Structure 1
Amino acid sequence: MPTIDPNVGTTSLSLGARAAFDVLSGRLPLWNHFEGLGAPLLGEMQSAALFPPTWLLALPHGQVIEHALLQALAGTGTYLFLRAFGLRRGAALAAALLFEVNGVFAWLRNAVFNPVAFLPWLFLTIESLRAAAIAEAPLSGRLPPVCLGAAMAAMALYAGFPEQVYLYAILLIGWVVFRSAGMDARQIRRFVLDLLLTALLAAALSAPLLLAFAEFLTEAALSGHSEHGFYGVWLPSAALLHYVMPYVYGPIFDSPVPVIRSVWSAIGGYIGFMPVVLAFAGVFLADRRPVKVLLVAWIVIAVGVSHGLPGVYQAFMALPLARIAASFRYLNPSWIFCFAVLAALFLDRVPDLPRPVLRRVMAGAVAAALLSVALAAVPAFPAIGDLWKIATDVQAGFLIGAFVAVALLSGATLWASRRAETGRVAILLSALLIGEATAWFLVPYLSYPRTGTLDADAVAFLKANIGFQRVAETAGHRLGPNYGSLFGIATLHYDDLPAPQRTADHIRNHLDPYANPTVFQPWFPYLEPEQRADRETLFRERLPRYAQAGVKYVLGGPDIGAETAVRLEPQGHTPHAVAAGEWVEMTGRLPSGRAMDVSEVSLLVATYGNTADGWAKVTLCVHGDCADGVSDIGQAQDNSPLTVGLSRPVRIAAGQDYTVRFEKLDGERPLALWIRPKADATPFSAAGPGGPLKDGYAPEVRFTTHTGLTPVHRSPTMVVYEIPGVRDYVSAEGCTLTPVTRDRVDTVCTRPSTLVRLEVHMHGWRATVNGTPVPIGLSDDTFQTIELPAGAARVDFTYAPTGMNAALAAAAAALLLILAVLARSLGARLAAAIRGRPERAAAPGGATR
């Protein structure tokens, strides 16, 4: 896998692109018609709808450009902060490059990625305002850093992941308190007032986002972010080794060992080995002791909270909102930044250290880092042992390579401190630091597929024919979570947090009782086999209800009406080859206990790269009532169901035994049936010419019944089915309706009537009839209704959180002020540079040692 979190596509790309399209079309990205039954877009936050880098998603490869821009921003901010703190250029540059390719950027590329870039800029703001307060700079000299800090704080909020900002804000507050030490009361007062002004400007600039988010929360399903949230959830101790040896367990999600998979699922980034070495070296030096104590303390607190360290964890959870934040995953950027600063503090001192002192410090630092690795490896040994027993060559290579890398880095570090020329030690250590970080950063990129074919047929058909109706998806045949938003196709299924509570309730009560409120997807891995089978049956039975929710099309395979004939475990696939003239006969009983009229039989087959040929015959018998059919094996897709239509439907009553005989009639190339372990004790047996199949295993057989769905389009990957009796997006008895857009409809009614609009109702929706505001009611406790007059009318719907106009005015005023101040400051700097003399006013980045 190239990333831990698939939300890089599910939310960041798909919802972000929808927002970009809205902005570039001249619309505020307030509402998304294409997700579920409709959902807020700006208030959803993860779309980062008004975050300017998000708008790059409208371009080809826009997300790559966006990420590169944010990484460059993170590196630049780190460099400027460390320079403002008084460090040499080389040390600041090394730490900047380290943070630019940090472990969060490597592993998490969804909305978590965005706010990380602004952490160093907020540290820079604090340093600049502190310097201005000490220098007693006039307001004109303090306003530029105030405005710069406000802009960066607002950008961090608009970036779309408030958890991240909240958690690193705790470190920023600690830094403010620490940097206030040594200042007199007057300087502290000016310092704090400037910080409050910065926060006030940032709040004004962020007002539209904060307002939209706050209103959405009152009507949202929040999943684990409500009540006690993530209290009591932390990383297993096996993750400690992962921080310093990022791929010791192999590539991302490449190991089936449960503990390792749980680490990959919850971890939020790494630091690597060299930053730990240089951090220890910095701590061993006596200079700048207070700042090092603060940085080390935060590392201990953050890592301790992530792993449930007794006392530390409980104290941290007492902070407001801490229990509903996934601190075990999202504290990483702040403590990784602390490591970068500690490394920079040491590199800054290297040129001044006598060689004996340098050798002694580096030997101690390497020893301490190796001891840390050894201590972290102790709780990881069981997982490493389990991995080693089943490791592939790739996994074994990563495991061995991780320890070899640590050994080589240790040796190179000691060599540099002992043998290299004094003036080059800092350069060599910086090269080792940046080289290691870059190597680890590049590993996930090598996991991206090199080639692929996109199936655009279904998308083109849907865009041309769906109108204002919706699409439902099935497991294995879908656009992908939220990708309907990217393509402009309204899709009932969604994966989002937060999600409208009314949508979640309607789906659970009317459509799918197994649905998760924030992840309504066709396939849920946490369901038991019986629940998955029941869910498939309910989907078929409730298709008329889907139609009443405006669903016109269903995306599926050729066996969409199929029901599992035998429940199997999800893992353990084994091929059972069937040559020409051979057969497999299966006898069983339906696990669901429901009667069904079977018109097709499907079996999961392997065609060895689509090379199998010949014809297959399937015969289904129930108490002597038999029907059969044949299918061309050459048309079957590898590792996909081979569907055989029967000459007529065969009824299987509840409790009746059935027999399925599969025969390969001819052909030169063999075909294989995929068999898997049985998941329950439902009667089923399978045998071939050589006797019973592998003990406890069975082919994946499915029976298809008539669903009432009509196939209307076939693409290489899916079939588009139409549901009969679909309810129009807007409807009203006795009226002729002409929808112009999703938010405007022209009506002509013979009598007063009620218009029903299949969009979820939330606070912020308003409607007018011929320009006159009218109240919006509820249908099915979900959809919007308004009263229509007799005759012709124009109906307009608009969505905007309450007070949005005032919030936009506040944001515009704050933006104009910030731009004016920064433009004036930049102009003054340029003028001073042209005149060849420095500006007298305090600079935002004034250096202090």
Structure 2
Amino acid sequence: MGIVRGLRMSAIRAAPLLLALGAVALALLPLLASPNLLMRGDVALYFYPYWEAAARATREGRLPFWNPDLFTGIPFLANPQVGFFYPPNRALSWLPVPLALKLSILMHALWAAGGMFGLARWLRYRTAGATAAAVAYAAGGYFLAQAEHINQFQALAWLPWMAWAWAARRPVRLGLAGAMQILCGHAQTVVLSWAALLILLAPSGDERRRLSGWIRAWSPGALGGALALGLSAFQWVPSLLLAQASIRAGGLPLNEALSFSLSPVLLGRSLLPGREAPAFTEFTAYVGVLGLLALAAGIRQTDRRWAVIAGAGLLLALGAYNPIYPLLLELFPPLRAFRVPARWLALWAFGAALGIGAGFDRGLARLGPRRLALWALGSLALMGLALAASPIQPPGMTGSLGPVKPAAVGLWVVALIAGGLLAWRRPSRAVWAGLWLAELMGAAWGLPVNRLLPPEAWSDPRLPALVLRDLQREVGPEAGRILSVVDLRFDPGDLGEWRSVFGGQLSPEAFEEFLVATKYKEALVANLPMARGLPTVDGYDGGVLPLRRYIELARRFVPTDRLLRDGRLWETLPGLPEARWLQLLGVRWIVTDRLRDEWIDGVFYDRGIAADACGAEPVEAGPFPPLEATELRLLVTSSLPPGTKLGVAELQTSEGDRLELSVAMGERNTPVRVRWGMPKQITGVRLRPASPACAEGGWRVEGGALVDERTGAFQALVLSPGGAFARRYAGDVKIYEFRKALPRLYGVCQVLSARGEAEAMDRLADPAFDPSRIVVIEGETDRAEEPPRPCAVKIQWLRFTPEVREAEVRLEGPGWLVLMESFDPGWRATVDGQAVPVRRANGLFQAIAVPGGVHRVRWEYQPAGWGVGIGLTALSLFSGVWIWGWRRARGKVPRQAHE
């Protein structure tokens, strides 16, 4: 009987916590009960690809120090947002990535609720208050809305555990929880969390007047914080060194540091529950109308530090709309490293959860008519703001918020009426809690985290990725990188099939998101190539990456008004960069859409590549399958009048003959036609411009085709300078091969020196610079300019992995080997086993000097600071164990509630 009684008592004690956990799981029911998945925004373009690459490395049993697949090569582990060393992430590596992400969301939501429940109980909240605080935090709008930023979501889940450990004066536990939060990989959340803790755990009463009071109150935090930094040093030391070379080095410009500030006009949409616009998650921070009623009741609590935390969060979230915030950025320069002031809403969510717990503890009997009236008026004011915000376009959205959905308005009105009735009749807390939970559940099920797409949105393989994978394997280590220049307005060819499959299952909004996800995969944009192991010159980030040098180089070929600091060349490039930039960046494969292509008089014209006929190289096409044709048709743009001689078309036939035919300007908006007599099998085309035509304005070729007028058969041509481009795939998008691409490792024998970055970039921007035979080396100021000379270099790969590149090279004379991976101090190189200095080459990459002859060269990468970080972590681990043992030797610390 004693055992039964004990179990019964344990169940009774655990029931409130289980109730809170059940409510949180219920808030995520659509996510958990469906085989569908999250597939939008950062989840699709950032986290899935990184998690896929990290899981692949884990299953292979290797540490992925270097990432060769994004941004011309970047550190992998040193990027904190990857969260590679966060234990739950690695434990989920054997599951499909979408499922792993869903389980991580569930685990961390429950973990957050458990931590908040424990914190509230330690702070002497009663059972109802602790349960309400746990639900308000883990099922509230701000926390759930961040689930799409999984690293931020994970880090927020540790905040209540850190607070609980500090309040209980357990520095070792605080250190462990703080280290786990750092390993989640969201530095901004770490800073916000410690700001909340400093307010919550500040001394109270007379203790504030004494230095000893501050020392006593904050000493567990200081010790725990130091331990957290030490235990996570193996992650943040390499990350800190990487940050010095990143776009955030020295802080962001003020306008970027203030981006995504919460406008006061948006407070209604932010603080009231409703079906949020997909791009509005940064501003979502509701706790429910009945939750606001609990705050009104809890404000009479003696200790109101929760209100200070919540108020500070709201005030700082205003960012640019708060005149104090820019001053704060000046006083604390490290804050300039972060964007999105709206993320200070994390403090609001944390403080408000504690306040709601206090309100449920005190009950509606303590509310009073004045506070009830203030709650009602405040709620009505927020509703008015929400309705007035309809035409506003928040940051990150391409259109206005639009009108509030009737269901959301109904939810607000019902909650307001219910709150008034509750205050009048004052029923049990269970009735109040039930109505509030219903309000939260209704809002949570409308959040983007619960708006899912079919598994095919991620798993369906698209042909371009498969084609590029085969092309990469065919070419080997020299395959080069991908550049996508795509307008996503194109329609997939299987649109009708998808509509027939999912048109009746998905709402129009959800089907549109599915369609966008499909086009993302088709076009291989942002970080998606990495998920398939395909290297791209592009990428998408917003943390310590991309490198500052990468952005500086991009400024030379991306219009300033279009340049984005987080990458996304596919969105910013108005067209293909010049061939020399493609060479410089190691681009071999071009992915484009088909929106500019045309059918004219039954003939298809590929307009993906345009060429200046008066450029340095003649415009060519071929080789291509022989076609018996009777004429060449060209799409020409020029200001020259019809009939003007443009030049000569040289046609190569399958018999080895060469035809030279005059090309004259035709009528505007009609193809230029070049005819010959008998049908010929044409295998190559070259256009030689006439000097007068070039002198008088020139002309461009934007497409062409060989046509057999007898049958209507045709061969679409890709016309480019020197025949540099060849079409390798044509589907919903097209893939071109840039045949003048430079390999990942190549040799040159002519060097230009530069004193620093600015001079190096100027040399690269010179139209006469040819990256195939010249390299710009920074710091070689004493080297005399070398005249051009013949240079024969042969390279045979011996080993090619992300972190190790080894090859046998044969140089005709002394020269330089250029490795097309971003310069990083973690790279080391040897020639025939002897260490050689790695120099910064062509502004972004790296090179080593090699004497003439046959040599074995090797590059190897390990993050800078990795050894130091490991040492600090080992020392901190020893210190933590020693502190834990010392405290146990002294006996248990008496329980002290935070007053």
**Common topology (TM > 0.5):** yes
Give the equivalent residue in structure 2 for 1:245: 272
Inter-partner Cα distance in structure 1 for 2:377 and 2:850: 76
Does the residue aligned with 2:728 lie in a helix, a strand or coil? strand
Q: 1:511-550 maps to which residues of 2 (within 5 A)?
A: 516=563, 518-524=565-571, 535-536=574-575, 538-539=576-577, 542-550=578-586
Residue 214 (structure 1) aligned with residue 259 (structure 2): no
SS at match of 1:798: strand
Does the 8 A contact of 1:229 with 1:325 survive in 2? Answer: no
Give yes or no for contact 1:57–1:66 (8 Å, CA) kept in 2. Answer: no
Q: Which residue of 2 aligns with 1:128?
A: 168
Secondary structure of 2:178's counterpart equals helix
Q: Which residue of 1 aligns with 2:508?
A: none
User: Is residue 477 of structure 2 the alignment partner of residue 442 of structure 1?
Assistant: no
Shift of 1:54: 3.1
Contact 2:538–2:568 (CA under 8 A) maintained in structure 1:
yes
Report Cα offsets for 1:11-37 as digits up to 9, x if no partner.
322224323433443433432111111
1:178-226 residue CA offsets vs partner (Å, 9 max, x unmatched):
4585488667545443322212211111212222222122222239952
Which amino acid in structure 2 is aligned with residue 152 of structure 1? A
Residue type of the alignment partner of 2:470: A
1:760-779 equivalences under 5 Å are 760-779=822-841
Aligned partner letter, 1:746: A
SS of structure 1 residue aligned to 2:848: strand
- The C-alpha deviation readout for 1:59-113, integer Å capped at 9, x for no partner, is 2121112222221221111111111111123321222122112323333322332
1:464 is aligned to 470
Answering whether residue 560 of structure 2 is matched by residue 556 of structure 1, we say: no
1:30 matches 2:65: yes
The 3 A distance-change label for structure 1 pair 840 and 199 is closer
Change (3 A) 1:246 1:768: farther
Number of equivalenced pairs: 676
Equivalent residue, structure 2, for 1:605: none
1:577 maps to what in 2?
A: none
* Deviation by residue 1:405-455 (Cα, 9 ceiling, x = unmatched): 12211233344455575xxx2222222333322322221245323464623
Q: Sort the Cα spacing of 1:204 and 1:360 in 2 relative to 1 into closer, same or farther, 3 A.
A: closer
Partner of 2:727: 711
Q: Distance in 2 between matches of 1:296 and 1:557?
A: 48
Give the SS at the match of 2:298: helix
In 1: Cα distance, 2:373 partner to 2:613 partner: 67
Amino acid at match of 1:442: W
Partner Cα separation in structure 1 for residue 68 and residue 635 of structure 2: 46
Alpha-carbon spacing, 1:805–1:91, altered in 2? closer, same or farther (3 Å): same
Q: 2:892 aligns with which of 823, 830, 841?
A: 841
Deviation at 1:823, TM superposition (A): 9.9
Q: 1:404 is matched with which residue? A: 410
SS at match of 1:220: coil
Equivalent position of 1:638 in the other structure: none
Q: Aligned partners of 1:621, 1:547: CA distance in 2, in Å?
A: 27
One-letter amino acid of the structure 1 residue matched with residue 180 of structure 2:
M
Q: Percent identity?
A: 18
Deviation per CA, 1:116-154: give whole Å up to 9, x if none. 11211121122111xxxxxxxxxxxxxxx2121111112
**1:291 partner letter:** R
Matched, 1:9 2:44: yes
* SS of 1:767 mapped into structure 2: strand
Structure 1 residue 341 displacement after superposition? 0.4
Distance 1:712 1:759 in 2: 26
**2:30 corresponds to which residue?**
none
Flag the structure with more relative contact order, 1 or 2, with Cα contacts below 8 A and sequence separation at least 6.
1
Does residue 347 (structure 1) correspond to residue 360 (structure 2)? The answer is: yes
Query: Unmatched 5+ residue regions in structure 1?
Result: 130-144, 254-263, 351-357, 388-393, 526-531, 566-581, 584-590, 601-617, 627-647, 662-702, 830-838
Gapped regions of structure 2 (runs ≥ 5) = 1-35, 394-399, 489-521, 603-609, 622-632, 645-659, 673-715, 748-791
Helix, strand or coil: the match of 1:747? strand
TM-score (normalised: structure 1): 0.70
Q: Compared with structure 1, are the counterparts of its residues 484 and 650 closer, same or farther at alpha carbon in structure 2 (3 Å cutoff)?
A: farther
**Which aligned pairs between 1:290-309 and structure 2 lie closer than 5 A?**
290-291=304-305, 293-295=307-309, 297-299=311-313, 301-303=315-317, 305-306=318-319, 308-309=321-322
| Equivalent-residue separation in structure 1 for 2:119 and 2:878 (angstroms) | 26
Sort the Cα spacing of 1:783 and 1:653 in 2 relative to 1 into closer, same or farther, 3 A: farther
Structure 1: distance between partners of 2:854 and 2:635: 59
CA distance in 2, matches of 1:201, 1:339: 29
**Residue in structure 1 matching 2:262, options 235, 240, 245:** 235
Which residue does the alignment assign to 1:676? none
* 1:98-113 matches, cutoff 5 A: 98-108=136-146, 109-110=148-149, 111-113=151-153
| Partner in structure 2 of residue 118 of structure 1 | 158
Which residue, out of 354, 361, 364, partners 2:367?
361
Kindly indicate whether the alpha-carbon contact (under 8 Å) linking 1:31 and 1:40 is maintained by their aligned counterparts in 2: yes
AA partner of residue 892 (structure 2): A
Amino acid corresponding to residue 208 of structure 1 in structure 2: F
Q: Does 1:473 align with 2:484?
A: yes
Distance 2:254 2:160 in 1: 31
Asked if the contact 1:46/1:161 (under 8 Å) is kept, the reply is: yes
CA contact (8 A) 1:279 1:342 kept: yes
Counterpart of 2:763 in structure 1 is: none
SS in 2 for 1:49: coil
- Is the 8 Å Cα contact of residues 310 and 349 (structure 2) preserved in structure 1? no
Verify: 1:746 aligned to 2:814, yes or no.
Answer: no
Using the TM superposition, give the Cα deviation of residue 344 of structure 1 relative to its aligned residue in structure 2, in angstroms. 0.3
Amino acid at match of 1:447: R
CA distance in structure 1 between the partners assigned to 2:225 and 2:547 by the alignment: 30
Question: What is the 5 A alignment of 1:45-444?
Answer: 45-55=80-90, 56=92, 59-60=95-96, 61-108=99-146, 109-110=148-149, 111-129=151-169, 145-179=170-204, 182=207, 189-222=215-248, 225-228=251-254, 230=256, 234-247=261-274, 251-252=277-278, 264=280, 267=283, 269-283=285-299, 285=300, 287-291=301-305, 293-295=307-309, 297-299=311-313, 301-303=315-317, 305-306=318-319, 308-311=321-324, 314=327, 318-326=331-339, 328-350=341-363, 358-359=364-365, 361=367, 365-384=371-390, 398-419=404-425, 425-443=428-446, 444=448
Given the alignment of the two structures, is residue 726 of structure 1 paired with residue 736 of structure 2, yes or no? no
Moved more, 396-405 or 161-170: 396-405
Query: Quick one: which of 482, 485, 497 aligns to 2:530?
Result: 485
In structure 1, what is the Cα distance between the partners aligned to 2:793 and 2:166? 65
Which residue number in structure 1 is paired with residue 847 of structure 2?
A: 785
Does structure 1 retain, via aligned residues, the 8 Å contact 2:133–2:353?
A: yes
Alpha-carbon offset, residue 818 of structure 1: 4.4
CA distance in 2, matches of 1:786, 1:386: 54
Deviations 1:526-584 (CA, angstroms, capped at 9, x unpaired):
xxxxxx7xx32x53xx2353144322211223467x5999xxxxxxxxxxxxxxxx99x
Verify the 8 A CA contact 1:278 1:365 in the aligned structure 2: no
1:334 offset after TM fit, Å? 1.2
Question: What corresponds to 1:615 in structure 2?
Answer: none
1:311 positional shift: 4.9
Aligned equivalents of 2:374, 2:671: Cα separation in 1: 66
Q: Is the 8 A contact 1:594 1:653 kept in 2?
A: no
Question: SS state of the match for residue 760, structure 1?
Answer: coil
SS of equivalent to 1:46: helix
> Structure 2 matches for 1:615-694, cutoff 5 A?
657-658=668-669
Q: CA deviation at 1:594?
A: 9.6
1:13 maps to a residue whose letter is Y
* 2:859 matches 1:797: yes
Distance 1:473 1:293, change over 3 A: closer
What residue number does 1:140 align with?
A: none
User: How has the CA–CA distance of structure 1 residues 66 and 292 changed in structure 2, closer, same or farther, with 3 Å as cutoff?
Assistant: closer
CA contact (8 A) 1:180 1:188 kept: no
Q: C-alpha distance in 2, partners of 1:594/1:516?
A: 29
Describe the SS at the equivalent of 2:85: coil
Residue 499 of structure 1 and its aligned partner are, at CA, apart by 1.2
2:354 maps to a residue whose letter is V
Conserved 8 A contact 1:148-1:818: no
Task: Report the CA distance shift for 1:20/1:150 in structure 2 as closer, same or farther (over 3 A).
Answer: farther
SS at match of 2:556: helix
Q: Distance in 1 between matches of 2:405 and 2:368?
A: 26
Q: Tell me how far 1:740 sits from its aligned partner.
A: 1.5
**For 1:244 and 1:649, how far apart are their aligned partners in 2?**
72
